[in-house]
A and B are shown apart, each in its own frame.
Chain A
């Protein structure tokens, strides 16, 4: 996306992009903004896209109905409101608290009797399109024992009501963490392989992802991993000059990078920086000569001479031809890192992919479960091409962040997955003897075969040492 008349789609809300909308209930929603269109948030109300264009991401808006013409979203009861900018999400629709009790000694549970407003009255107020603020104030007024509640429980009450009657929303840039949270909340935990924000973040750092690397990737999450890599490498900027590239190897005929449809990159940019290739084409590439024998590109003049129906057929075939050639090139290249989130059997997968990785480059493998990574680690210990496989876990524990009431959340989602991290290395083929030992072995009537045996023995020893990482090198 290019900058139009000073509006920057990466920092400001602009049309033709997907954004994340945070509702009063803290639920998330992805919305594609179309100029002149209307967005409905269901019971929270509706607004016009044009009213929010040009504001910074992160701004909180309130939907207000003061002096608007009655206009409904077609076929629904949702009335389209005006927009006003709120200063703070926290302060939105919170009438000032007064008259609270030290404790709840006087509080008796009388059920719904304490609320003098009936459901019908509340519904009527909503239909009259009173602001969420007004409804909540009214409810407090008619709540008989509200002032017998402690400040804390008054706040809690307000929070609950706010989630029900407030009409504000926050518009956020759709970064990879936001996309992940949206998917988790939507119930797509399995689809994203239970990955957590902290595991995703750690995978990016351990794999040393930067703007100019050539990375190899398997992503079974529908593109979340690739999305996160792209964001880290290019920041959503289709005009980025960085040369980095992601090669996505997929197990079906076509890749599933569905989530990239939410990204702000141009198709052209994605084509340049994300290359997809099937496992078959990657591990058993076609021969260049075979491809060339099947198709010959024409010269510019010859193309001009083609009739229009033949022209399109030609370009279709040309595209195929170019894709085949680029597949061959990709299969022959080596990479700056490997990032895998796959449910394929890892002990056979990783070493084969690892062959295509440069020495000293990191390999990071994500799994929902620890056991497949345990098995992988054991198999890599025995392979001298991989240095010190480690099993890592990272967990985030959020706090209820209210002064005077700080404590970790009482309940939260479990899981989050595990990472295997190691480096691709190049084993010493024929260990060089240094001069001193050469002299000594000369004296001792050096025996080539004997040396080789010693070498083999040593290799075996290394294998054993690798098995017990804490004893590495210890015996030497």
Chain B
């Protein structure tokens, strides 16, 4: 079983773990006793991780200061992997991939075609849910990298993923003995792989060149769903043309917009406090004027200066913070318990305003039924009711009356 899809409790030597440093900084590491994982927050020894449960927080004391640095060590999942993976190409993010899987009814009976593999982000999500994944990559270096990665992650070993080096636009999807592929042929008698695919995902610059090649590899047994992933609307237009020519139906293009929010706090600043602050400013202005007048009077009267210094002292006692909770200039930390806060959600600083257009379509190759077989099958239901139930009859009657009234 793959270390991606088999739930594990404790970290063992050789395991792949994702070290969570922060929300957008996850690092894959393969645990090996004696090795050290260096971060800008400190060095974490792999030995400290071995034997700990997955999900553990690993804390260390950093050199030079009396502080702790920490990371969390997580078991990889396709979603976490898509945040952490080394990009070889632009990747498909979770809002898109999860919608595509849901809409194409991806499940353990699905046989999926994915082209191209790219960075393998979507491959992991497909491999988790599908019966079998056939992934194609036309770039040789990326093919080798992906194959190596799939092998390390146990996707190939688990037996439900096959990766093939192929330009699917030119050479189609069939996998034959002798092709550059991860599929291991059982000797010369096995000449080709039965793909029988019912779930197609094309993330290619020119999917319209690949669509005609699908005919020979898609399932004849069931409805086939397809999704093309293209960033430009001109690509969508060409895809629609190809889909129509090839007899694909129920064609629809959609866009998925994902947003992430941070839970933050905004300081509660009341009107009364603002009024109070202005009142204070006014009072002090007033006091200043009085003081100046007094000083003028005193200098003209040549009186003692002791009284004046006393009133100066009084002024310094004004408590600003009590009615001036505005934090301006004093850098109040968000959530400071001396102040009141309201909960707010803040959208991420940079949003992915466009990933790609998703064009869906479906196809049924075989629109016939085996009459003999069906007849024989239905004979086994011979004795079952041949009319509508009483309840159904009543419902229909009511419905019909309603229809008539409407018209």
Query: Is B54's CB under 8 angstroms from A394's CB?
Result: no
The interface on chain B, measured as residues whose beta carbon lies within 8 A of the other chain's beta carbons, has a size of 115
- Residue B223 CB within 8 A of the other chain: yes
- Smallest CB gap from A334: residue in B: B9
Query: Is B70's CB under 8 angstroms from A462's CB?
Result: yes
User: If the complex has contacts A377-B263, A387-B72, A425-B72, are A4 and B345 also in contact, measured as CB distance less than 8 A?
Assistant: no
Proximity string of chain A (448-468) to chain B, C-beta cutoff 8 Å, 1 when within and 0 when not:
000000110010011010011
- Residue A155 CB within 8 A of the other chain: no
Query: Is A7's CB under 8 angstroms from B256's CB?
Result: no
Residues of A within 8 A of B103 (CB): 177, 197, 201
Tell me, rounded to whole Å, the shortest Cβ–Cβ distance linking A268 to chain B: 19
Complexed CA–CA distance, A472 and B345 (Å): 17
- Residue A346 CB within 8 A of the other chain: no
- Smallest CB gap from B10: residue in A: A359
Complexed CA–CA distance, A361 and B60 (Å): 23
Which one of A53, A397, A428 contacts B254 once the chains associate, using CB atoms below 8 Å?
A397
Which one of A38, A406, A425 contacts B387 once the chains associate, using CB atoms below 8 Å?
A38
Query: Is A396's CB under 8 angstroms from B62's CB?
Result: no
Residues of B within 8 A of A11 (CB): 221-223
* Stretch in A98-106, A208-216, A283-291, A300-308 with 4+ CB within 8 Å of B: A208-216
Complexed CA–CA distance, A6 and B380 (Å): 13
Query: Is A362's CB under 8 angstroms from B77's CB?
Result: yes
Tell me, rounded to whole Å, the shortest Cβ–Cβ distance linking B88 to chain A: 22
Residues of A within 8 A of B396 (CB): 40, 42, 73, 75-76, 78
The interface on chain A, measured as residues whose beta carbon lies within 8 A of the other chain's beta carbons, has a size of 122
- Residue A160 CB within 8 A of the other chain: no
* Stretch in A83-91, A144-152, A218-226, A269-277 with 4+ CB within 8 Å of B: A83-91
- Residue A437 CB within 8 A of the other chain: yes
Tell me, rounded to whole Å, the shortest Cβ–Cβ distance linking B104 to chain A: 10
Query: Is B57's CB under 8 angstroms from A455's CB?
Result: no
Residues of B within 8 A of A50 (CB): 378
Residues of B within 8 A of A433 (CB): 61
- Residue A233 CB within 8 A of the other chain: yes
Complexed CA–CA distance, A177 and B378 (Å): 30
Complexed CA–CA distance, A288 and B11 (Å): 33
- Residue A358 CB within 8 A of the other chain: yes
Query: Is A205's CB under 8 angstroms from B72's CB?
Result: no
- Residue B51 CB within 8 A of the other chain: no
Q: How many A-B residue pairs have CB under 8 A?
A: 337
Complexed CA–CA distance, A396 and B258 (Å): 9
User: If the complex has contacts A392-B258, A428-B56, are A399 and B376 also in contact, measured as CB distance less than 8 A?
Assistant: no
Complexed CA–CA distance, A470 and B350 (Å): 13
Residues of A within 8 A of B257 (CB): 394-397
Interface residues of B in 47-103 (CB under 8 A from A): 48, 53-63, 66-70, 72-75, 77-79, 94-95, 97-99, 101-103
Which one of B102, B345, B403 contacts A391 once the chains associate, using CB atoms below 8 Å?
B345
- Residue A401 CB within 8 A of the other chain: yes
Residues of A within 8 A of B397 (CB): 75-76
Tell me, rounded to whole Å, the shortest Cβ–Cβ distance linking B355 to chain A: 11
Tell me, rounded to whole Å, the shortest Cβ–Cβ distance linking A304 to chain B: 34
Complexed CA–CA distance, A465 and B37 (Å): 22
Query: Is B387's CB under 8 angstroms from A74's CB?
Result: yes
Which one of A123, A202, A469 contacts B98 once the chains associate, using CB atoms below 8 Å?
A202
User: If the complex has contacts A205-B101, A397-B254, are A374 and B108 also in contact, measured as CB distance less than 8 A?
Assistant: no
- Residue A57 CB within 8 A of the other chain: yes
Which one of A12, A14, A381 contacts B263 once the chains associate, using CB atoms below 8 Å?
A381
Which one of B20, B260, B387 contacts A37 once the chains associate, using CB atoms below 8 Å?
B387
Residues of B within 8 A of A317 (CB): none
- Smallest CB gap from B399: residue in A: A42
Interface residues of A in 29-79 (CB under 8 A from B): 34-38, 40, 42-43, 50, 53-59, 73-78
Tell me, rounded to whole Å, the shortest Cβ–Cβ distance linking B95 to chain A: 4
- Residue A133 CB within 8 A of the other chain: no
- Residue A415 CB within 8 A of the other chain: no
Residues of B within 8 A of A360 (CB): 53-55, 73-75
Query: Is A202's CB under 8 angstroms from B385's CB?
Result: no
User: If the complex has contacts A59-B364, A423-B74, are A393 and B258 also in contact, measured as CB distance less than 8 A?
Assistant: yes
Which one of B7, B58, B345, B362 contacts A428 once the chains associate, using CB atoms below 8 Å?
B58
Complexed CA–CA distance, A468 and B263 (Å): 8
- Smallest CB gap from A202: residue in B: B98
Interface residues of A in 248-304 (CB under 8 A from B): none
- Residue B176 CB within 8 A of the other chain: no
User: If the complex has contacts A54-B373, A391-B261, A436-B63, are A358 and B9 also in contact, measured as CB distance less than 8 A?
Assistant: yes
- Smallest CB gap from B221: residue in A: A11
- Residue B251 CB within 8 A of the other chain: yes
Q: Which of A362, A472, A476 has the most CB of B within 10 A?
A: A476
Tell me, rounded to whole Å, the shortest Cβ–Cβ distance linking B33 to chain A: 15
Complexed CA–CA distance, A77 and B402 (Å): 12
User: If the complex has contacts A6-B373, A7-B374, A476-B62, are A427 and B57 also in contact, measured as CB distance less than 8 A?
Assistant: yes
Complexed CA–CA distance, A78 and B397 (Å): 10
Residues of A within 8 A of B75 (CB): 360
Interface residues of A in 426-441 (CB under 8 A from B): 426-428, 431-434, 436-437
Proximity string of chain B (288-303) to chain A, C-beta cutoff 8 Å, 1 when within and 0 when not:
0000000000000000
Query: Is A470's CB under 8 angstroms from B262's CB?
Result: yes
- Residue A206 CB within 8 A of the other chain: yes
Residues of B within 8 A of A390 (CB): 23, 260-261
Residues of B within 8 A of A427 (CB): 57
Interface residues of A in 149-178 (CB under 8 A from B): 173, 175-177
- Residue A413 CB within 8 A of the other chain: no
Which one of A15, A236, A426, A472 contacts B57 once the chains associate, using CB atoms below 8 Å?
A426
Q: Which of B42, B359, B364 has the most CB of A within 10 A?
A: B364
Tell me, rounded to whole Å, the shortest Cβ–Cβ distance linking A233 to chain B: 7
Query: Is A7's CB under 8 angstroms from B377's CB?
Result: yes
Residues of B within 8 A of A455 (CB): 68
Complexed CA–CA distance, A399 and B407 (Å): 32
- Residue B233 CB within 8 A of the other chain: yes
Complexed CA–CA distance, A408 and B236 (Å): 13
Residues of A within 8 A of B102 (CB): 176-177, 197-198, 200-201, 204, 228
| A-B pairs with beta carbons under 8 Å apart, 15 shown | A7-B377, A11-B223, A177-B102, A208-B77, A211-B108, A362-B77, A387-B74, A390-B261, A397-B254, A399-B253, A401-B253, A426-B55, A431-B70, A454-B66, A454-B68
Q: Which 8 pairs show the lowest CB-CB distances between chains A and B?
A: A359-B55, A201-B102, A35-B381, A360-B55, A431-B59, A58-B223, A54-B369, A377-B263
Beyond the given A205-B94, A473-B69, A476-B69, please list 19 additional residue pairs across the A-B interface where CB-CB is below 8 A.
A35-B384, A37-B387, A54-B377, A77-B404, A177-B105, A236-B107, A360-B54, A362-B77, A371-B343, A387-B20, A396-B256, A396-B257, A426-B57, A428-B58, A428-B59, A428-B70, A434-B61, A472-B23, A476-B68
Q: Which residues of B contact A (CB under 8 A)?
A: 5-7, 9, 20-23, 41-42, 45, 48, 53-63, 66-70, 72-75, 77-79, 94-95, 97-99, 101-103, 105-110, 125, 128-129, 221-223, 233, 236-237, 240-241, 244, 247, 249-265, 333-335, 343-345, 357, 359, 362, 364, 366-370, 373-374, 376-378, 380-382, 384-388, 393, 396-397, 399-400, 403-404, 407
